[in-house]
Amino acid sequence: MNYLNKKTIEDIDIAHKKVLLRCDFNVPIIDGKITDDRRITESLKTINYLINNHAKIILCSHLGRPNGVFSEEFSLKPVAKRLSELLATPIAMATDVVGTSAQTLAADLKDGEIMLLENVRFCKEETANDDEFSKKLASLAEVYINDAYGVSHRAHSSTCGVAKYLPSAIGFLMLKELSIMDKAINSPTRPFISILGGAKVSDKIGVIYSLLNKVDILILGGGMAYTFARARGLNIGTSLCEEDKLDIAREVMKEAEKKGVKLLMPVDFVVASAFSNDADFKTVDETEIPNDYMGMDIGPKSVELFSNEIRKADGGTIIWNGPMGVCEFKNFEKGTKALAQVIAETNLVSVIGGGDSAAAVKQMGLSDKMTHISTGGGASLKLLEGVDLPAVVAIQDK
C-alpha cells in the first residue's frame, strides 16, 4: 500500500476542535524517573502544531504491559510531568481512560490546552480492539491523529478502532518514520546492507526472505546466528538454537546464493559458561565452541569482517535491527557497539530500527551521526517484511 497517500495532520481541520492524539509514550521508567525521553521529545512537533492551531488536545498512550489492570507502576504520571516541563505548560492528568475523569477534563478543555488520559492498556478492551471501547474513546474528541509509529503494527482500539468513528490523519513523527523507511527499503542508494540481530530466527523469517529480494549484503548476528551455525553442521554448545528452524536456515542460505546476495555470519564468538555477566567467558572460532559454553556475542574477527563490508559500502544504505550479542550484559555488548561506531564513521544512509540497536547508539553518544533512529523496532520489522501496518491502513486516504 502507499503509506504516503494517507491524510496528514496538515490535511485536516483541527482549529478549535478536540483532537485525540495517539502518541507512543512507552518510555523506560525506573523508580518513577524517565531514563530516556526520546519518544516524548519526538512527539513535540505534532503537539506544538496542535497548540499553535488552537486545538483542544487529548493525549493518549500506553506504557508497558499492565494486562488490563490498574497499576501505579505503569501510570503515565511521570510522562505528564516530563511533558509539562518540555512544553512549559500545565498538563491535566486524567485518572482513567474513558471514565468520569477523562470525560470531565475533555468537556472542559479550552483552545491550546492539553490533557493526558491514563494508560490506555489499563483497559483490557484496548488490546482486544473492542468496538464499544473504541466508540467511547472516540466520543471524547472530534478528530483523531495517530503519531504512535512504535505501535502502528498493533490493531488496538486507540491505534485502529477510533479511526472508524472520527476524521483521521497521521502526525509528523509517523509521517517522518514512514517516509524514511519507505525510501530506505524501496529506493535505497546502493550498495544496500541490512544487519539483523536479535534472539530468534522465527521472529525474523518473513523479514529475512523479504530482504533477500532487496539487499546486496545481509549480515546476521545475535542469538539467531547459532541456529544458522548449527544448520551448517557446527557444534554450538549450549547456545540458543531453534531446532525446528534448521531447514529454514539452510533454505535461506541457498536462497541468498541463488539471488546473489552476500550473506555474512559470524566467524568467531564470545562464549560464556552461563547466561550471566559474571560467568567465565572467552573468544573462540566458530568451530571451537565448547560443549558446556554458550554464545553471547560476536568475536573480534566477526567485527572486522562485518566492519570491512560496511566501510566498503560507504555512500550506500544500511538498515540495522537487532543487537549482535546479549547487550544487557557489559561483557557482551562489544560487538554491537563496535558496529555502531563503524556505521557512525561512514557516509552511509543509516536507519537504525528501535530497541537494543537504538539504545546502543544512544548510549555511545552517536545518535547525531546516524541518518535516522526509529522509535519503533516492531513496526520497522513489519515494514521490512513488507507487511501493512494496521494503524496506518485505518487512517483516511488523502
Cβ partners under 8 Å of residue 50, min gap 6: 9, 14, 19, 21, 57, 145
Do the beta carbons of residue 353 and residue 320 sit within 8 Å? yes
How are beta strands 29-30 and 33-34 bridged, if at all?
A: antiparallel
- Annotated active-site residue 154? The verdict is no
- Annotated active-site residue 378? The verdict is yes
Active-site residue among 161, 334, 378, 382? Answer: 378
Grid cell of 211 as nine digits: 530482504
Please state, in angstroms and as integers, the Cα–Cα distance from residue 160 to each residue in 193, 201, 245, 390, following that order.
Answer: 33, 29, 33, 7
Active-site residue among 39, 82, 214, 334? Answer: 39
Do the beta carbons of residue 82 and residue 45 sit within 8 Å? no
Active-site residue among 135, 200, 301, 362? Answer: 200
3-class secondary structure, 206: helix
State the burial class of residue 365 (Cβ atoms within 10 Å of its Cβ: 0-12, 13-18, 19+).
exposed
Active-site residue among 223, 355, 376, 377? Answer: 355
Q: Which residues pair with 329 in a beta bridge?
A: none
- Annotated active-site residue 355? The verdict is yes
Active-site residues, by number, are 39, 200, 355, 378
